[in-house]
Amino acid sequence: MSPVFQVQNLNKAFGGLAVTQDVSITMNPGDRVALIGPNGAGKTTFVNLVTGHLDPDSGKVLLGGNDVTSLGPTPRVRQGLVRSFQVTRLFPDMTPEEHLALAVMQRTGRTGAIFGHYQAKADVMAEVAELLRTLGLDHIATRKVAEIAYGQQRLLEIALALALKPKVLLLDEPAAGVPQSDTPRIEAALAGLPSDLAVLMIEHDMDLVFRFARRVIVLAAGAIIFDGSPQDVTRDARVREAYLGSYANDRSAA
């Protein structure tokens, strides 16, 4: 299987501080990878480099074999690299239906009749209805996002990302801030992601990481210190020192 997503020797420094050091990751279709690391490990910088919001000092990002390093965020989305957001960044005055219709229209390039009624495109609306059903959002399809529950907003983010039919999906803490009662829905949505989609999840919640990921990458001080199975990650001495130690401390303090 040819890799769908490759990061090769990525480097980035702010001033004299190296925040990303020689990071290389290869992912195949269907991969479920969790990217973890203590605060300040450089996860956010890494995501910004990959999505095109930051330019690397050196290194490459490849999507399906194509070098996209020089492209901005929007063309990368068009090529199938889609990111959901850590902080809810939906459009508060728009409905879930409008969100998804927009995403589907953008993906399919069905924006020719821009002054036509957006609901007039039957194929677009059929796909929107299907996404709403899959994520259990159909009953709130025409409510403004500002009025729906936080857990539903997070589900809509996933729906929105799926509407773009990504090849690679970056999920930034999909369950953060969601009430305990709603997390099963999020996890069900994650479990139901298309099987050929490569998913890279940035996550703090280790329980979720162990349930979701089949591979874990640990970032510390901008460099990868571990890349392997979830079973092995807890046994790795460097990881314990860099990450799980502070995680365990957090736990015992909480």
Partner 1 sequence: MPDASGPLLDQSMQTVLSVGIDALAYGMVLFVISIGLSVTMGLMRVVNLAHGAFAMIGGYIASYATQTLGFGYGVAILAAVVGTIIIAIPVERFLYRRIYGAPELTQVLMTIGITFCVIGIANYVFGPTLKTIPLPETLRGPVDLGFRSIAAHKLFAIACGVAVAGALWYLIERTSFGVKLRASVDNAAMAASLGVRTRIVYAVSFAVAVGLAAFGGIVGAELLPIEPYYALRYMVTFLVVVSVGGAGSIPGALLACLLLGAIDTTGRYLLPEYGEFFFYLAVIAIVCVFPRGLLGRRS
Name the residues that contact partner 1, by CB under 8 A: 51, 73-74, 77-78, 83, 85, 89-94, 98-99, 101-103, 105-107, 111, 113-119, 160, 164
CB of 177 to partner 1, least distance (A): 17
Decide whether 40 or 116 has the Cβ nearer to partner 1.
116
Shortest Å, Cβ 146 to partner 1: 8
Report the residue number, 7 or 105, with the smaller CB distance to partner 1. Answer: 105
Q: What angle do CA 28, 29, 30 make, to 5 degrees?
A: 110
Return the number of the residue (114 or 237) whose C-beta is nearest partner 1. 114
Distances (CA, A) of 116 to 110, 124, 160: 11, 13, 22
Non-local (6+) Cβ contacts of 235 within 8 A are none
The residues pairing with 83 across neighbouring beta strands, listed in sequence order, are 170
Residue 6's nearest CA partner among 66, 93, 96, 72 is 66
Which of 149, 32, 157 is CA-nearest to residue 87?
157
Nearer to partner 1, 58 or 119 (CB): 119
Strand partners, 61: 7
| Complex with partner 1: residue 53 or 215, whichever CB lies closer | 53
Find the length of the chain. 254
CB 42 → partner 1: shortest distance, Å?
Answer: 21
Task: Report the distance separating Cα 201 and Cα 171, nearest Å.
Answer: 5
CB 242 to partner 1: min, Å: 31
CB of 105 to partner 1, least distance (A): 6
